[in-house]
Amino acid sequence: MINIEDIKKAQTRIEDFIYKTPLIRLPLEEEVFAKAENFQKTNSFKIRGAFNFLSSLNPQERAKGVTAPSSGNHAQALACAANHFGIPAAIAIPHNAPAIKVAATKAWGAEVKRCGGSTAERRAAAQYFVDSRGYHYVPPFDHEFTIAGQGTIGLEIFAEMPDLENVLVPTGGGGLLAGVALAIKSLNNNVKVYGVEPELAADATESYKKGRRILWPAEKTTATMADGVRTQQVGELNFEIIQKHVDGFFTATESEILEAAKYYLHKAKIMLEPTGALSLAAYLANKSQIKGKTVLIISGGNFSPEFLEQLF
């Protein structure tokens, strides 16, 4: 099982490659800060896990090339990391992924294979490159290397704000939530860590409540504008960590996500993708339950022009 030492090793491994993103005080009456991972090298937190994963492979494994399924942000992250190491990358991206994420993935030099939106279709498309070319499969969330890389966000938050009381984390497959929760709880078990999902893709929330992983149908999860968390089921290893270290979940409606994104743009002057607005959406709807100094993780900022039009 992954532990805090794995996350600290990941931090050392990736520190010269990723950006240490800022904590930004939001213009709210309460003490609320945003961890702006939309300012990251590929405009999302995913670069942390991808780079840690590739750095953890031996040279022979890495040289074979890498592949993964992704809705866009992991695709860009893996493409960027592969470019750094000078190795080939081929990514399976659903047909309904934002065009801007596909273009950015190609710009880093990766090959893109379009596929259906279900988990099975994504994995099958990526498996093609494993079977036909011998590429190494890099899970987008359900792996110790990935979780440890995402957990470095928790180390950064705590180092800058050791007196924080709450952290809200956007949740899809659960790699970010598992890593941050493990890091934060290992440093101060009194800090409350919450996962946040759209109501239309709340499989992790239901899984947490029922104590077992629940699979949601693809046609349901793909309905949310928060394309970064359209995962149908939380990862197995991630869920084990989440059950142990997470204090609860909040969900957000589509209108709440949109209003949070508008707030970020018009009040805080921060531009982000719908998934990145999840934590603020949940905070504004549930702040009577969230007391004290709070950090909201902005997971990414790879927005589409169509989404930008909705913010005015």
Over residues 3-19, the pLDDT tens digits come to 999 999 999 999 999 99
Question: What pLDDT shows up at residue 32?
Answer: 98
What does pTM read for this prediction? Answer: 0.95
Question: Is-same-fold flag (4-44+143-309; 47-137)?
Answer: yes
pLDDT at 218 over 90: no
Average pLDDT value over all residues in the chain: 95
**Across 192-216, average pLDDT:** 97
Helix (H) or strand (E) holding 306: helix 305-309
**Domain boundaries along the sequence of the chain:** 4-44+143-309, 47-137
Q: Which residue has the higher pLDDT, 276 or 99?
A: 276
Question: What pLDDT shows up at residue 36?
Answer: 98
Over residues 40-57, the pLDDT tens digits come to 999 999 999 999 999 999
Question: What pLDDT shows up at residue 304?
Answer: 85
Q: Which residue is catalytic, options 55, 56, 299, 304?
A: 299
What is the Rg, in whole angstroms, of the alpha carbon atoms belonging to the chain?
18
pLDDT at 62 over 90: yes
At 183, the pLDDT band (50, 70, 90 cuts) reads very high
% of the chain surpassing 90 pLDDT: 89
CATH class as words, domain 4-44+143-309: alpha beta
Beta bridge partners of 250: 196
pLDDT at 2 over 90: yes
Question: What pLDDT shows up at residue 202?
Answer: 97
Question: What pLDDT shows up at residue 187?
Answer: 98
Residue closest to 295 by CA, chosen among 77, 37, 52, 43: 37
The reply to whether 299 belongs to the active site is yes
**Across 172-201, average pLDDT:** 98
pLDDT at 23 over 90: yes
Over residues 107-159, the pLDDT tens digits come to 999 999 999 988 889 899 999 999 999 999 999 999 999 999 999 999 999 99
Question: What pLDDT shows up at residue 1?
Answer: 83
Q: Which residue is catalytic, options 35, 46, 101, 192?
A: 46
Q: Which residue has the higher pLDDT, 306 or 135?
A: 135
Q: What is the CATH number of domain 47-137?
A: 3.40.50.1100
The reply to whether 46 belongs to the active site is yes
In terms of C-beta distances under 8 Å and separation of at least 24 residues, what long-range contacts does 242-247 make, across chains too?
242/174, 242/177, 242/178, 242/181, 242/195, 242/204, 242/208, 243/208, 243/211, 245/178, 245/181, 245/182, 245/184, 245/185, 245/193, 246/177, 246/181, 246/193, 246/194, 246/195, 246/208, 247/192, 247/193, 247/194
Over residues 82-108, the pLDDT tens digits come to 999 999 999 999 998 888 899 999 999
